[in-house]
Amino acid sequence: MTFQIQIMFFRSFSIGKNNVQEVFMADILDGKTLADSIKQRVKKEVASLKKDGVDVGLGLLLTGDNPASVQYYKTTLGACKKVGITAHEFRFSETVSLNQLLNGIHEINRDERIHGLLMLMPLPGKINARRVINTLVPEKDIDGLGSISVGRLSADESTIQIVRDDGKNAMSRDRLMPTAWSFLPCTPFGVIRLLDHYKVPIRGKHAVIVGKSLAVGKPLSMMFLAKEATVTICHRETRDLGSMTRQADILCSATGKVGLIRGDMVKKGAVVVDVGINMLQNGTMTGDVDFASVSKKASLITPVPGGVGPVTVAMLLENTVRSAQRADMLYPAMAIV
């Protein structure tokens, strides 16, 4: 069952002698509800695999102490524990060399206990991140950032995961579908799953994405295209950003810039998805969107925290289980007699 939380804003104005009160209502796209349902299914699949002798394992690789990355790292560790996935931690200092990271990835590739790896970004500036990411074997690229995973998404080879149903039977079905063996990037896929969960129409709508990163912006644009939306991508060189965002039926921002999207940049009734994660000095988390002003214009909006973030973690766990299921199908843990 889908629940929506409404925030109400009141603004008074005068017409002659009468005082009229106008009400604005913004429905909250609560990611926790969807994330909990995904994790419940993951927990059942993990238990089923354990009965077959498979201990599902997820590797987490963190370099340095970027606050947002550390928070994501800790959140993922806690989520793994709740669903029964074994977490294997790989932590490196900011001064780590490329050789050390590549050796770590090779070790993970060979480790049968690990079915997927989450690499927390960003890596240190001196490190060639694409070389590190592409060293990971595709079957463990559960965050879908490797060139093979991205290529399959671009070629519409893995988009069946986007246009399928709500995922209740997806994990079992995907074991028999080679086209679904590639993994989709967890954050953009989480955005699509969240919109689908709340039955937000996508086909024929104008989706405007602010940010063109390979982790979010680019794959999210391809997913919207797979759902038959008209897509516009904005970035740091986009002139008059507000004129573009005001055209959006669905507005997604993933830049990591606090308060980038203001109320005057959003048309009334738009759906606003805030993918940004920014850790403030006081320890609180905020996104790209000025929630107070945008809430008064949007029909639906994600909070930060509690919006896209929980779904991203849940998608990561789901992909890890799918990887374990695929490995178990190809190389069964139980003896066949």
Position 97 scores a pLDDT of 96
**Looking at the predicted structure, is the pLDDT value of residue 337 above 80?**
no
pLDDT at 247 over 50: yes
| CB-facing half-sphere around the CA of 314: CA atoms within 13 A | 25
Give the count of alpha carbons within 13 A of 25, CB side only.
6
Q: How far apart are CA 146 and CA 135, in angstroms?
A: 8
Chain segment 45-81, per-residue pLDDT in tens? 999 999 999 999 999 999 999 988 999 999 999 999 9
Are the CB atoms for 278 and 256 separated by under 8 Å?
A: yes
- Nearest CA to 121 out of 187, 184, 183 is that of 187
Digit-coded pLDDT (tens) for 203-222: 999 999 999 999 999 999 99
Place of tokens 């989480």: 190
CA 190 to chain centre: 4
Tell me which of 13-22, 38-47, 147-156, 230-239 is least confident. 13-22
Q: How many CB atoms lie within 10 A of CB 80?
A: 24
* CB atoms near residue 20 (< 10 Å): 10
CA dihedral 25, 34, 207, 249 (to 10 degrees): -20
Say whether pLDDT at 16 is over 80: no
Give the mean model confidence (pLDDT) for residues 92-103: 96
Check residues 9 and 181 and name the one with the higher pLDDT: 181
Percent of the chain residues past pLDDT 70, beyond the cut: 85
Q: How high does pLDDT run on average in the chain?
A: 89
pLDDT of residue 180: 58
Q: Give the pLDDT band of residue 13 (cuts 50, 70, 90).
A: very low
Higher pLDDT, 239 or 279: 239
Q: What per-residue confidence (pLDDT) applies to 280?
A: 87
Neighbours of 135 (CB within 10 A): 16
Mean pLDDT, residues 37-46 taken together: 97
The residue among 46, 48, 110 whose CA lies nearest residue 318 is: 46
Supply the pLDDT for residue 122.
92
pLDDT digits (tens, 9 = 90+) for 285-310: 999 999 999 999 999 999 999 999 99
Residue whose token pair is 């990887």: 323
Query: Per-residue pLDDT tens for 108-143?
Result: 999 999 999 999 999 999 999 999 999 999 999 999
| Percentage of residues in the chain having pLDDT higher than 90 | 77
Four-CA torsion 240, 244, 250, 251, nearest 10 degrees = -20
Which own/partner pairs from 98-106 qualify as long-range (CB within 8 Å, at least 24 positions apart)?
98/126, 98/127, 98/128, 98/131, 98/132, 101/61, 101/63, 101/127, 101/132, 102/131, 102/132, 102/135, 104/61, 105/61, 105/132, 105/135, 105/136, 106/135
Exposure letters 221-243 (e unless 16+ CB within 10 A, then b): bbbbbbbebebbbbeeeeeebee
SS3 state at 286: strand
25-29, 62-66, 156-160: segment of lowest average pLDDT: 25-29
HEC assignment per residue over 11-52: EEEEECCEEEEEEEEEEECCHHHHHHHHHHHHHHHHHHHHHC
> Residue 160 in 3-state DSSP?
helix
Listed in sequence order, the residues at least 6 apart from 228 whose beta carbon sits closer than 8 Å to its beta carbon are 202, 203, 204
Tokens standing for residue 126:
């001196």
Higher pLDDT, 34 or 328: 34
The larger pLDDT score, comparing residue 177 to residue 135, is at 135
Pairwise CA distance, residues 193 & 167, whole Å: 9
- Give the pLDDT band of residue 163 (cuts 50, 70, 90): confident
- Residue 25 is predicted with a pLDDT of 55
Q: What is the pLDDT of residue 165?
A: 52
Rg (CA), the chain: 21
